[in-house]
């Protein structure tokens, strides 16, 4: 008897993994991978994920006033997932997918900056502590790009807000600061996304297809910086992106079992998969009894199939190692990775040069307001090409 489970991303084809990888989604230059460039990721926490191993320069736990620097991640908790997601989407080398789900800056060096406190909070002083540490160590670690995928607390038009001041100091020190706009679909930005010197990134939904006629804006925030500058500066793909599972977590163990169901062709094969992995499954969450699966012999009943399929959808499963995610938290690292490519071909670029290039090479998404998308769609190949040309001719002479 045949059976068919499926994933819930657009254009899914049965028993095929056809979720497009990030470089293909945005048409990035595959010959450049950020080699020799260091990106700092400021986030809730990180893990020793195989896709970034060997390229971590330092891990800084800035969760308290006593910053702890270690050669790599020491502690992994549920808070590690978000930073793992952003760093791997931006700069992972695709080890667990045979190179398929790699980031655009897959050879960049990484500085991982944890800013969550011991009680799991992230407030503006914590983000500030992480950014200040980057500024203080900028000569030691030679960071060229900072990716911030966490947000502050309250709207502020105070030009002296500490986060605005720190973003400006980093920019003036030659460091590109990229910050996610937020996902509340509101005309409202909070620090540090509302810093005028930041490259604030919104998002678009490409429906997992290269056919741009199907694309639409993501539900990101927009508005103005404290000095009236419109934000976001540009938008990047922010939906249906392949993200790694937190290794050895309960969720990863359950997904490893459920993902195998996507390849099952018969009831007998599905039953065998479930019985072998029954210990890893959260049966309570699926409202299933162990006896229901243990006693199954040649066919799963329709109710059980429905509950299993709902769980696959709940986890947004792509395969044994990945689920799809969305948000400006993941569109920002894509922009950061493209900036790493730009700096790779032209290390002399200033943050002002980078901002001008990204803006002038982007394309507006038709039928949506400039207010919500800034310069429009990130165009990596154009940006890299203009960065390369600027090496021969000073950018200020090319207007």
Mean pLDDT per 10-residue interval, the chain, length 399 residues: 91 87 96 97 97 97 96 93 98 96 98 95 96 97 97 93 98 98 96 97 97 96 94 98 95 96 94 94 92 86 95 97 98 98 97 97 95 97 96 54
Residue at which a domain ends, from 323, 342, 361: 323
- 182, part of any domain: yes
Residue-wise DSSP of 172-196: HTT-EEEEE--SS-SB---TTTT-T
240 and 303 share a domain?
no
- Residue 322 belongs to what H/E stretch? strand 322-325
- 264, part of any domain: yes
318 and 334 share a domain?
no
- 34, part of any domain: yes
Nearest to 336 by CA among 88, 131, 94, 166: 88
Supply φ then ψ for residue 216, to 5 degrees. Answer: -145, 165
Residue 392: the pLDDT is 62
200 and 285 share a domain?
no
Residue 398: the pLDDT is 46
208 and 218 share a domain?
yes
- 334, 236 Cβ separation under 8 angstroms: yes
- 12, part of any domain: no
The burial of 301, by beta-carbon neighbours within 10 Å (0-12 exposed, 13-18 middle, 19 or more buried), is given as exposed
Residue at which a domain ends, from 281, 304, 323: 323
233 and 255 share a domain?
no
355 and 317 share a domain?
no
- 103, 30 Cβ separation under 8 angstroms: no
3-class secondary structure, 41: strand
- 85, part of any domain: yes
- 145, part of any domain: yes
Residue 393: the pLDDT is 57
199 and 97 share a domain?
yes
307 and 228 share a domain?
no
360 and 221 share a domain?
yes
Residue 364: the pLDDT is 96
Domains: count for the chain: 2
Region at 363 (left for phi over 0; alpha for psi -120 to 50; beta for the rest)? beta
Domain range spanning residue 185?
23-244+325-397
239 and 267 share a domain?
no
Q: Rg of the chain over CA atoms, in angstroms?
A: 22
- 379, part of any domain: yes
393 and 264 share a domain?
no
Rounded to an integer, what distance in angstroms lies between the CA atom of residue 358 and that of residue 335? 9
Domain at 29, CATH number: 3.40.50.200
269 and 217 share a domain?
no
Residue 297: the pLDDT is 82
- 3, part of any domain: no
Question: Which residue in the block uniquely carries the two structure tokens 């071909």?
Answer: 345
Residue at which a domain ends, from 299, 323, 347: 323
pTM: 0.95
Report strand pairing: 109-114 vs 38-43: parallel
- What is the number of other CB atoms lying within 10 angstroms of the CB of residue 173? 13
């Amino acid at each position: 008897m045949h059976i068919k489970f499926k994933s819930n991303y657009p254009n899914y084809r049965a028993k095929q993994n056809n979720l497009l990888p990030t470089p293909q989604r945005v048409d990035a230059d595959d010959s450049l991978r950020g080699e020799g460039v260091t990106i700092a990721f400021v986030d809730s926490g990180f893990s020793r994920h195989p896709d970034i191993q060997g390229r971590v320069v330092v891990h800084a736990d800035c969760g308290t006033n006593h910053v702890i620097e270690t050669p790599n991640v020491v502690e992994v908790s549920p808070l590690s997932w978000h930073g793992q997601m952003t760093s791997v989407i931006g700069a992972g080398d695709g080890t667990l997918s045979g190179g398929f789900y790699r980031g655009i800056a897959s050879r960049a060096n990484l500085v991982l900056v944890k800013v969550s406190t011991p009680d799991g909070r992230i407030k503006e002083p914590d983000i500030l502590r992480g950014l200040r540490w980057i500024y203080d160590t900028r000569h030691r670690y030679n960071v060229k790009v900072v990716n911030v995928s966490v947000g502050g607390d309250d709207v502020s038009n105070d030009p002296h807000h500490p986060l605005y001041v720190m973003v400006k100091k980093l920019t003036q020190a030659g460091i590109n600061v990229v910050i996610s706009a937020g996902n509340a679909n509101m005309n409202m930005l909070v620090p540090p996304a509302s810093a005028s010197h930041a490259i604030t990134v919104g998002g678009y939904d490409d429906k997992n297809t290269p056919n741009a006629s199907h694309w639409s804006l993501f539900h990101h925030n927009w508005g103005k910086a404290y000095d009236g500058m419109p934000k976001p500066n540009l938008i990047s793909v922010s939906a249906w992106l392949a993200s790694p599972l937190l290794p050895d977590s309960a969720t990863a163990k359950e997904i490893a079992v459920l993902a195998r169901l996507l390849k099952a062709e018969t009831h007998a094969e599905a039953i065998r998969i479930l019985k072998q992995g029954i210990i890893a499954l959260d049966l309570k969450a699926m409202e299933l009894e162990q006896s229901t699966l243990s006693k199954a012999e040649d066919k799963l009943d329709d109710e059980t199939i429905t509950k299993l399929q709902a769980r696959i959808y709940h986890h947004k499963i792509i395969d044994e190692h990945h689920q799809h995610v969305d948000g400006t938290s993941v569109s920002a690292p894509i922009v950061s990775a493209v900036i790493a490519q730009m700096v790779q071909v032209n290390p002399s670029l200033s943050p002002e040069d980078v901002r001008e290039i990204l803006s002038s090479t982007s394309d507006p998404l038709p039928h949506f307001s400039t207010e919500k998308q800034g310069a429009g769609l990130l165009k990596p190949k154009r940006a890299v090409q203009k960065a390369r040309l600027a090496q021969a001719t000073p950018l200020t002479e090319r207007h």
